[in-house]
Structure 1
Amino acid sequence: MGDSKKEIGPPPKLSFKQFLWNSETSQCLGRTGSSWAKILIFYVIFYAGLAAFFAGLLAVFFQTLQENQPKWKMTEGLIGNNPGLGFRPMPPESNVESTLIWYDASKENQHTYWVDEIENFINAYKAIPTTNQQECTFEHGAEYGKVCKTDFNSFGSCNKDNKYGYGGSSPCVFLKLNKIYDWKPAVYSDAKNLPDKMPKSLKENINQVTSLKPNETNIVWVSCEGENPADNENIKSIDYYPRMGFPGFFFPYKNVEGYTPPLVAVQFSVQTGVLINVECKAWAHNIHHDRSERRGSVHFEIMVD
C-alpha cells in the first residue's frame, strides 16, 4: 500500500536580496506589511503601558515626599544624627585626597592660593540671598521662617587684609558643622560633668563663660589640638574667632532659604619647617567622636616653611 502523504522538506533557501524583499510573497525581512503593522502596534501599546505603569509608580512615590525636608530624618536616614566637621581652605583638586595645608610664607605665589580659597568660600556665603536673614543673639534667636545671619566682621585677625595669617606662620582655618535636618545640639551649658577627654583649655573656657556670661552657654563648643604630644609642642598658640564654638541659635537646620551654617575661624601660630597633625572636635552631649570615621571631628595637617 503506497504512502499517500507528501513528504515535507525544508523551505527553499532565499538569497539575501530575496530576504530583504520577496516579490513573490510581498514580504520584507520575512514579514508581510500587515504582519509588520501588527507587531509595531503591539510594541507601541506594550511600551506605552510599561511607561504609564512606571509613571504611576513614580507619581505615588513622589506623593510620599515633602518639598522642603527629607523623608528620612536623623537616625532613619543614611546621614544619621551625628554631624561631622568640615574645614576650609582645602588643598588643590590635584591633591583631592590630601588634607595638608602647606606653603612657604616667604613666597607670595604660594600663600596666594590659600587666601583665594578662603575668599571664594566666604564670597559663596555672602552670595546667598539675605531676604530671610536676621541678626540673632543668645537672647533672641531667629523668628519663624527666618534664619540667623553670619557676621563676617567677627573673625578677628582672620581677614583678607591680614591675608588670613598666610603671609606669616599663623594660618587661619575655618570650621563648620555639616548640616543635618532637624538636628539640635544638646549643649554643655555648665562646667559640671564635662567629658574627661575634653581638652583642659576648653574646660577653662566653658567655666569662664558660665561664670561671666551664663546666658551665652548655648554653644556647640569647639577645640583644636595636635594629635600627638610632638604636634602640640610645635603649636605655639591657638585663637578662636568669634568664640570657641558655634552659637546654638543657628540650629536646628530647617532648609529655610538663606540659611548659612555658622563658622569658627581658628588661627594657629606654628613652628616653621615642621609637619603638624591637627584634630578639631565639636562638643555636645549628642555629638560622639570616632576618629576612624571622623565623626564629630576633622583632621588636617599644617606645614609652614
Structure 2
Amino acid sequence: MADKKPESQFYQRPPKLGKWESFRVFLWNSETKQFLGRTGASWAKILIFYVIFYALLVGFFAVMLAVFFQTLDMKKPKWQQDSSLIGSNPGLGFRPMPSDKNVESTLIWYKHSDKGNVQYWQKEISKFLAVYNKTNNPNADKLEDCRQFQPASPGKVCDVKVDQMWHPCLKEVGYNFESPEGGPCIFLKLNRIFNWVPEYFNSSTIEDENLKMKDELKREIIEAEQKNQHHIVWVTCEGENVADIEHIGPIRFIPQKGFPSQYFPYQNQDGYLSPLVAVYFEKPKRGVLINIECKAWARNIIHDRVDRRGSVHFELMID
C-alpha cells in the first residue's frame, strides 16, 4: 500500500523541467505569480527602496556641491600665480597650428601654389582671429579704443584692432601664404595668467649677464625709454641654429614688436582680448626646414628652452 502520509507528499521532488521550460517559468510563474523570481509586492518594495536611496544620494551631493561652490569666485581663481599650477611665468602661443591629427607637431609646411594646402592654414588663422571682429564678440560693448600705454576705463577692456595697419597679415591677402616670394604671417599671443603684471625693461635693467639679450633689442628698449614708450613686453624671433639664422631672412613685427601695457593685467574681464603680434617673414629660404624660436621679454619672464617657458618653438617650411 502506497504511503499517503503528508510528510512524504511535502518532500516530493518537483518535476524536472527542460532549459526552455525553466526559463519560461523564471519569466512568469503562474502558480506563484512571480515575475523574474519576485512577486509584485517584492518588486514594489525594492523599487521604493532604490528610489529613496538614490534620492538621498543625489540630495547629499547637491548639498556638498552647493557648499563647495560657496567657497569659489566665478571671476577669479582661488589659487593664483606662484600658488597655482600655472605659475607666474607666461609662455607664448602661435597660430596657425598644425592639424589635430598630428597634435605634437609644430611644423608649418605648405606649398604656396597649392591652394588646397594653403587654405587650411588661412582658415585656421581666420578662425583664431574671428573673436577680434566686433561682430563676432558677444561683449563688443565692453571694448574701448585705448591710447597706447593707457588702461581702459572701469568696466571696459582695450580693443585689438586687426586693420589695414596689419598689411600684409590680413585675410584679404591670405595672410601672405600665397605670395610667390614672401613668407607667411604667424600670429603670436602671450598666454593668460590671472592678475599677472609685467615688469618692463629699461636702460638700467638690460645689462644683466643672464639675460642673453641681443644688442639690437637693447637699443630698441633704450630708444623706447627715451620716448617714454618702453612699457612693452617685447618679442623677438630668430633661427635656433646657425643654418636657421641664415635661412630665416628679414622679419617684421606687426603692428609693433611686443605687447603694450594697456592689456595688462588680465582679470577675466568680459570681452577681454589677448594682445597679438603678427610675425611677417619677408623672404625665408624655400625648400628648407627652418627652426624658429620666439621669446617674450620682461623682467619677470624667465626663459627655459627645455620647458618652453617664456618662449615658443615652431618650424617653417615652404615648398
Whole-angstrom CA distance in 1 between matches of 2:159 and 2:77? 24
Would you say the 8 A contact 1:191–1:207 is kept in 2? no
Give how far 1:198 is off. Answer: 1.8
Would you say the 8 A contact 2:202–2:222 is kept in 1? no
Would you say the 8 A contact 2:149–2:260 is kept in 1? no
Would you say the 8 A contact 2:196–2:265 is kept in 1? yes
Partner of 2:213: 198
Partner of 1:264: 277
Give how far 1:253 is off. Answer: 1.0
Partner of 2:315: 301
Give how far 1:22 is off. Answer: 4.5
Normalised to the residue count of structure 2, the TM-score between the two structures is 0.83
Q: Does 1:284 align with 2:298?
A: yes
Q: Tell me the C-alpha RMSD between the 2 structures.
A: 2.7
Would you say the 8 A contact 1:181–1:254 is kept in 2? yes
Query: What is the letter of the counterpart of residue 215 of structure 2?
Result: K
Partner of 2:91: 84
Whole-angstrom CA distance in 1 between matches of 2:167 and 2:285? 21
Give how far 1:18 is off. Answer: 4.5
Q: Does 1:101 align with 2:108?
A: yes
| Candidates 206, 214, 225, aligned match of 1:210 | 225
Would you say the 8 A contact 1:188–1:194 is kept in 2? no
Q: Which runs of 5+ in 1 are unaligned?
A: 1-5
Deviation by residue 1:151-189 (Cα, 9 ceiling, x = unmatched): 212324323454433213322111001112222212213
Give how far 1:273 is off. Answer: 2.0
Q: Does 1:184 align with 2:184?
A: no
- Aligned length, in residue pairs: 298
Query: What is the letter of the counterpart of residue 55 of structure 2?
Result: A
Give how far 1:113 is off. Answer: 3.5
Query: What is the letter of the counterpart of residue 108 of structure 2?
Result: I
SS of aligned partner of 1:256 = coil
Partner of 1:171: 184
Where do 1:29-178 residues align within 5 Å? 29-126=36-133, 127-128=136-137, 129-153=139-163, 154-166=165-177, 167=179, 168-178=181-191
Which is further off, 94-103 or 290-299? 94-103
Which is further off, 266-275 or 151-160? 151-160
Normalised to the residue count of structure 1, the TM-score between the two structures is 0.86
Give how far 1:14 is off. Answer: 8.0
Distance 1:220 1:194, change over 3 A: farther
SS of aligned partner of 1:220 = strand
Which is further off, 56-65 or 115-124? 115-124
